[in-house]
Amino acid sequence: MSKSIKLAILGLGTVGTGVLDLLKDNLKELKRRSGHDIVITQVGTRRQRDDIDPAIKQNSDLMAIAESDDVDIVVEVIGGMTVAKDVIIHAIKNGKHVVTANKALLAEHGNEIFALAEEQNVHVAYEASVAGGIPIIKVLREALAANKVEWLTGIINGTGNFIMSEMRDKGRDFDDVLAEAQELGYAEADPTFDVEGIDAAHKLALLASIAFGIPLQFDKVYCEGITNITLQDVTYAEELGYRIKHLGFAVRRYDDQEADTAERELAGIELRVHPTLIPEDKLLANVNGVKNAVLVNSHPLGQTLYYGDGAGAGATASAVMADVMDLIRVLTVKDGHHVPHLAFMPNQLSDTPILASDQMITGYYLRLEAKDTPGVLADVTRILSDAGINIDAILQKPAHQKGQVPIIILTLPVIESNMNSAINKIEALGAITTDVVRIRLHELD
């Protein structure tokens, strides 16, 4: 039997307006898919808008909306941490299901929010919080439910990807591209969250929890931005067959990486966001502009790549309404079952440790500026060898200024504490004239 499902949309910015437009354009299709009418009864907005259907109540009192009898599902797209958290908790306590795009809020307070939702027997859906319109949350929670995720990585911030793409494709400097990204609306006036990797770290915390069945632990994500990436390094990477991307990684680490799968003991989980060299022929290396992509390696499926628009009104509204459709099924099917918020049953979340940054294992790109004197390269390679670091490639460039020779070294994977020690010793050499530039490297095999 058909019934009306009543929505409230809190926030009428880009995403909230996108949801309104999507409902207007695709309402018949949504009804065919759900079997029910979908009605927006209220919108939360600070100022009255003339372009809103008069049948929809415009209300600036968000708490009143969250407890209203004419609301079944609250869609929170106001962003931020304080007001959004308060209104979501109030909605949950009043028995409302919630859809949110607020990755920062969930990454930092999701454990509390999801626990309260379980207690109140309501659901918090958040597909739009990661990678825009790419259904990566649903993929990890449902489509890959029979798989064991070994690692995932992705371009999960479009602003950073736009900057790195423009630097490589057009030979532009970081500051120049950032200014354009701000003009185009890809970056905020204060771009810190994007260029320093904080936005990507919020999203990675969510992906890792779903992939591995661990509590949300944003505070343990290692985070490094792209502000120090130079055109020089982008060019050298290209010469060596690599491209630099700003990636998030969530990786299961084992005590013996070479042992048979059944015999390996889990050492911990790496959670990290940083610039990374990846081979130029990999699909992920060819995701450009503001697009997002997530690469998942799972057993037994292997590698799968999910690509699309990571932001924007249409992409985010698509993800928001997909969550609404799922919640409609929960509301209208007797004894409807829902997928747990973090994919695993709440009492089955693991306390697997998150490894410290100096325990990470990656390959490295190292760039040194050295005096043009005999024996420098031999000293550097000896230090690396003594630290158990194997060299994969060396590129020595002509002196770009009198007496200064750039040396580029690629290494095989090594534990970061060993690399830290080696770099300290290299920088102490009298022939090394600047700090060593290091960028992590992954083959994505």
The pLDDT score that the predictor gives to residue 283 is: 96
Beta pairing, strands 37-44 & 4-10: parallel
Average pLDDT on 304-309 reads 96
User: Mean pLDDT score of the chain, rounded to an integer?
Assistant: 93
* Fold assignment, 138-308: Dihydrodipicolinate Reductase; domain 2 (3.30.360)
Question: Letter for the amino acid at 77?
Answer: V
User: How many Å apart are CA 123 and CA 325, to the nearest integer?
Assistant: 13
The structural domains of the chain, with segments of one domain joined by +, span 5-125, 138-308, 361-441
Mean pLDDT of 412-419: 97
225-274 residue pLDDT tens:
999 999 999 999 999 999 999 999 999 999 876 655 556 788 999 999 99
pLDDT of residue 1 exceeding 70, the answer is no
Q: Please give the model's pTM, rounded to 2 decimal places.
A: 0.93
Catalytic (active site) residue 203: yes
Whether 14 has a binding-site annotation, put simply, is yes
Closest listed residue to residue 237, CA positions, set 202, 304, 285, 184: 285
Report whether pLDDT(207) > 70.
yes
**Which alpha helices (H) appear in 131-173, and where do they start and end?**
136-138, 158-170
Q: Has residue 60 got a pLDDT over 80?
A: yes
CA dist 156 and 217 (Å) reads 18
Most confident of the ranges 3-12, 216-225, 253-262, 343-352: 216-225
The CATH number of the domain covering residues in 5-125: 3.40.50.720
Is 68:43 a contact under the CB 8 Å cutoff? no
Count of Cβ atoms closer than 10 Å to residue 348 Cβ: 10
Give whole-number Cα distances, 416 to 101, 167, 363, in Å: 34, 27, 9
Does 11 belong to an annotated binding site? yes
In the sheet with 97-100, reading across from the earlier edge strand, the strands are 57-59, 37-44, 4-10, 73-76, 97-100, 124-125
Residue 188 in marked binding region = yes
| Torsion from C-alpha of 269, 271, 275, 281, nearest 10 degrees | 50
The yes-or-no answer to whether 5-125 and 361-441 have a common fold is no
Task: Tell me yes or no: is domain 361-441 CATH 3.30.70.260.
Answer: yes
Q: Which of 46-60, 80-94, 158-172 has the lowest mean pLDDT?
A: 46-60
Distance, CA of 40 to CA of 53 (rounded, Å): 10
Residue pLDDT, tens place only, 367-400:
999 998 888 999 999 999 999 999 999 998 776 6
Residue 363 marked ligand-binding: no
pLDDT of 295 > 90? The answer is: yes
For residue 166, say whether it is annotated as part of any ligand binding site: no
- Which pLDDT band, with edges at 50, 70 and 90, does 332 fall under? confident
Q: Which of 96, 138, 203, 220 is catalytic?
A: 203
